[in-house]
Amino acid sequence: VIYPPHSKLTDKEKTSICYLSFPDSNSGCLGDTQFCFRFRRAPGRKVSLCCFLDQLDRDLPVYLKKDPAYYYGYVYFRQVRDKSLKRGYFQKSLVLISKLPYVRLFRTMLKQIAPEYFEKSEAFLEAVCSDVDRWPPPIPGKILHLPIMGTIMKLRIPTYRDKPGTTPIVQNMHEADAPISMALPTVHEVDLFRCFCPVFFHIQMLWELVLLGEPLVVMAPSPSESSETVLALVSCISPLKYCSDFRPYFTIHDSEFKEYTTRTQAPPSVILGVTNPFFAKTLQHWPHIIRIGDIKLPGEVPKQVKVKKLKNLKTLDSKPGVYTSYKPYLNKDEEIVKQLQKGVQQKRPTEAQSVILRRYFLELTESFIIPLERYVASLMPLQKCISPWKSPPQLRQFSQDDFMKTLEKAGPQLTSGLKGDWIGLYRHFLKSPNFDGWFRSRQKEMTQKLEALHLEALCNENLVFWSQKHTEVETVDLVLKLKNKLLQADRERLPVKTDTLKKLQTHINDIILALPDDLQDILLKTGTT
């Protein structure tokens, strides 16, 4: 069943969803299981609602922006014994498909509706959809109240202006007449400490592998463990965006199965979460494998575990751990390990452990990225180079050698006490998809800033006086160029003050009014080229 019935999915997408909505038979997931997957959208699909979502997308932090090429599937799977059925089991999945990576929100929502859906069936989905139709747009930064079957979820979607690592608290409502409400502390974060617990001693090495976009496979006993761990890995380099593909739950039926498991070329830059024992053979040539047992929170301090050699990984029964021959660039930070171990001994709540771990990853990522930010900012031309009568100047080229020279005085040592081969880590990072994605987005921002400064420079000129000293042809050309500038500012949402745009529009009108009547008529009607 697909709801709403008018939702369009291609046959290929339907097949992907069907295979990804059930755990592998070996997972033995009795009872209720929740997990998530991610799959490629069929090419050539008509894009709906995108303009609207794109506007909202601009205000999101980079790691929450939607990827137009992928959908997320959020699953609530139930398997219970039922002798009246031929197979002896009731097995059903309710799956929510969205472009948005709000794992915690959709997980909470499914928890609210799936158990009742299994009892009541399709009519219930209609009631759920009419609730969802009443939801306000997912505007970043606003407190949103989302009704769902008698409950109100209260939440806030982060914005790019939020200070990284801070989560504004969403208070619960306590009015007597208010419906039952629940405040979601976050829409997208997973329980980091719980996910990293099985590989506790290797968190820093895993951070390096994710940062460098290395091929990683997570072998887990069930889709909930594989998907949570993959999402935790992707989020550990936040506020950097992980720019390669990642699949929280990947099966042998996946349309990319051949592409990702071939031995004729090196494994691609992707993170896969798998549960099928078949992958222990198919992916044993991958350079980095994380093997996870059942995720349980440790009652006592986890024991120190060495990194295991890949040749020891033969089956899915292999002991949990990290199998790789990778040598980390940075020396191990013993402090974070001690801090988390102490938390385990003192029975510190897992949420508090996750906060400590998230802050640790954030500080590590920021120490790494600040020198790059500083160097890239220096590629911006000086404001005095911007002339209203010439095209905006270009950014200077990124030079690896010049950047490396800046590290001696302004490197990560200014904010991090960690020793090690930072230079080697940067060299490796500059070849990775994560650097490419990060640099492109910085380039775009800076180019838009230059366009905005150019617009301001034009506004400060006496354009009417200029047009009086030039021919009509030149003046018409200027008007058309200025109109195009205004359009571009609106289309690309350039960082320009509204007053500047109004001033430019006034300049255009004044220039047109100074021209002969026949030209005025044409130019006032003309939009832009």
Give the pLDDT score at 528.
44
One domain, residues 244 and 379 = no
Give the pLDDT score at 52.
62
Q: Taking a C-beta distance cutoff of 8 angstroms, is the pair 508, 483 a contact?
A: yes
One domain, residues 389 and 344 = no
One domain, residues 205 and 300 = yes
**CA R_g for the chain:** 27
Which residue matches tokens 């994605």? 437
What phi and psi, each to the nearest 5 degrees, are found at residue 489? -60, -40
Handedness of CA 493, 499, 503, 509 (dihedral sign): positive
Instruction: Tell me how far CA of residue 335 lies from CA of 331, 338, 350, in angstroms.
Output: 12, 5, 18
Give the pLDDT score at 177.
47
Domain for residue 450, yes or no? no
What phi and psi, each to the nearest 5 degrees, are found at residue 125? -65, -35
Give the pLDDT score at 316.
47
**Overall domain count for the chain:** 4
One domain, residues 303 and 280 = yes
Distance in angstroms (rounded) separating the CA atoms of residues 27 and 227: 14
Give the pLDDT score at 484.
83
Q: Tell me, what CATH number does 197's domain have?
A: 3.40.50
One domain, residues 271 and 303 = yes
Domain for residue 253, yes or no? yes
| pLDDT, tens digit only, all 529 positions of the chain | 888 888 888 998 999 999 999 998 766 778 899 999 999 988 766 555 555 666 788 888 888 988 888 999 999 999 888 888 888 888 899 999 999 999 999 999 999 999 999 988 788 888 999 999 999 999 999 999 999 998 999 999 999 888 877 766 666 555 544 567 888 889 999 999 989 988 888 999 999 999 999 999 999 999 999 999 999 999 999 999 999 999 999 999 888 898 898 888 889 999 999 998 888 888 888 999 998 876 555 555 555 566 776 665 555 456 788 989 999 999 999 899 899 989 888 988 988 999 999 999 999 999 999 999 999 999 988 877 787 778 888 889 999 999 999 998 888 888 888 899 999 999 999 999 999 999 999 999 998 888 888 888 887 777 777 777 788 777 788 778 888 888 888 877 888 888 888 888 888 888 887 777 777 777 776 654 4
One domain, residues 234 and 321 = yes
Give the pLDDT score at 74.
97
Q: Which of 323, 357, 391 is the last residue of a domain?
A: 357
Domain for residue 152, yes or no? no
One domain, residues 16 and 116 = yes
One domain, residues 206 and 351 = yes
What phi and psi, each to the nearest 5 degrees, are found at residue 71? -115, 155
Domain for residue 40, yes or no? yes
Give the pLDDT score at 529.
40
Alpha helices in 378-491 (DSSP H): 400-410, 422-429, 433-459, 463-468, 472-491
Distance in angstroms (rounded) separating the CA atoms of residues 38 and 75: 11
One domain, residues 339 and 403 = no
One domain, residues 320 and 398 = no
Among 505, 499, 465, which residue's Cα sits nearest to residue 483?
505
Give the pLDDT score at 311.
61
Token couple for 189: 């974060």
Q: Which of 302, 323, 357 is the last residue of a domain?
A: 357
Could you list the residue range(s) of the whole structural domain that residue 509 is in?
A: 462-526
Q: What is the pTM of this model?
A: 0.88
What phi and psi, each to the nearest 5 degrees, are found at residue 152? -120, 120
One domain, residues 264 and 339 = yes
Domain for residue 446, yes or no? no
Instruction: Tell me how far CA of residue 433 lies from CA of 57, 122, 210, 270, in angstroms.
Output: 21, 43, 11, 10
- Classify 278 as helix, strand or coil: helix
Domain for residue 155, yes or no? no
One domain, residues 309 and 372 = no
Distance in angstroms (rounded) separating the CA atoms of residues 515 and 284: 75
Domain for residue 162, yes or no? no
Domain for residue 317, yes or no? yes
